[in-house]
Amino acid sequence: MHQLFISFFSVLFPPRCVSCETRIDNPELVCCAPCTGKIILNSSFFCPLCGARIPPGEKTCHTDARYLLGAATSFEQKQIRDLVHSLKYNGTRRTAPFMARILFEYIRRMLPVNALDFSNYILIPIPLHKRKERMRGYNQSSVLAHELKKIFVSSNLPFPEIRKDILARKKYTPSQTECKTTEERRKNIAECFSVSHPEYINGKNIILIDDVHTTGATMGEATKILKRCGAKRILGLVFAKT
């Protein structure tokens, strides 16, 4: 029944590539082969303050950076922008498994998977304000985190616990994309997060996951409060950076 519905649906609305809009035969795919082939995967971590590449195992150039930035791809690529846009605004989670697969390939490239040890780690998706999440129907960072977990589990790899009850967004802010300057973004988001269980954070390593890292204002605010609560190492993991 389900399958029949899908094929009926795809006759009426043939699936199209989220980037170039060519028709795709396989309804499970979101990006056509040529667009997928154009996606360039990053091969380093980044300093969140100056954007410099940090090879795996090396220290951040800015010692005052509160986190290490892991970004799978670049937002400069059209395919990447289209994927992010589709996940965020098309009211569809269809793109999430594809994006999580790209994140997974990046993590595999950056960290030796046979040595992965997440025992003292927790993973926190950057939260949306409750009202915004209700309007969108989901939090795109959380959807990405869960899709990523599925890939790790099916590959028999350890994955940190996903905690959505620790960090909350207490301030309803206009969309970051509406703020033009870095300063505006920073003001818009200042002190917008709260932590409900500081005891879960104390002494823990944290992976913060988000879809996009632009000026770093959001990640900067989130890591500020997490560090205040005693977080040890923080990795900001995003699908794309500008």
Query: How distant is the alpha carbon of residue 185 from its chain centre?
Result: 19
Nearer to Zn ion, 61 or 168 (CB): 61
The CB-of-214 to Zn ion minimum distance in angstroms stands at: 16
Number of residues that bind Zn ion (CB under 5 A): 11
Angle, CA 75 vertex, CA 35 and CA 142 arms, to 5°: 95
111 binds Zn ion (CB under 5 A): no
18 binds Zn ion (CB under 5 A): no
- Rule CB under 5 A: choose which of 15, 30, 39, 47 binds Zn ion: 47
* Tokens coding 118: 């997440």
* Tokens coding 57: 């195992």
Nearer to Zn ion, 71 or 229 (CB): 71
Phi, psi of 112 (to 5 degrees): -65, 110
Residue 64 three-state SS: coil
Rounded distance between C-alpha atoms, residue 129 and residue 49, angstroms: 25
- Rule CB under 5 A: choose which of 35, 80, 87, 123 binds Zn ion: 35
218 binds Zn ion (CB under 5 A): no
- The secondary structure of 153-191 as a DSSP string is HHTT---PEE-SSSEEE-S----GGG--SHHHHHHHHTT
- Rule CB under 5 A: choose which of 23, 62, 187, 224 binds Zn ion: 62
50 binds Zn ion (CB under 5 A): yes
- Rule CB under 5 A: choose which of 41, 61, 157, 162 binds Zn ion: 61
19 binds Zn ion (CB under 5 A): yes
Q: Which stretch binds Zn ion (CB under 5 A): 12-20, 67-75, 103-111, 202-210?
A: 12-20
Assign residue 117 a region: left if phi > 0, alpha if psi is -120 to 50, beta otherwise? beta
Nearer to Zn ion, 182 or 202 (CB): 182
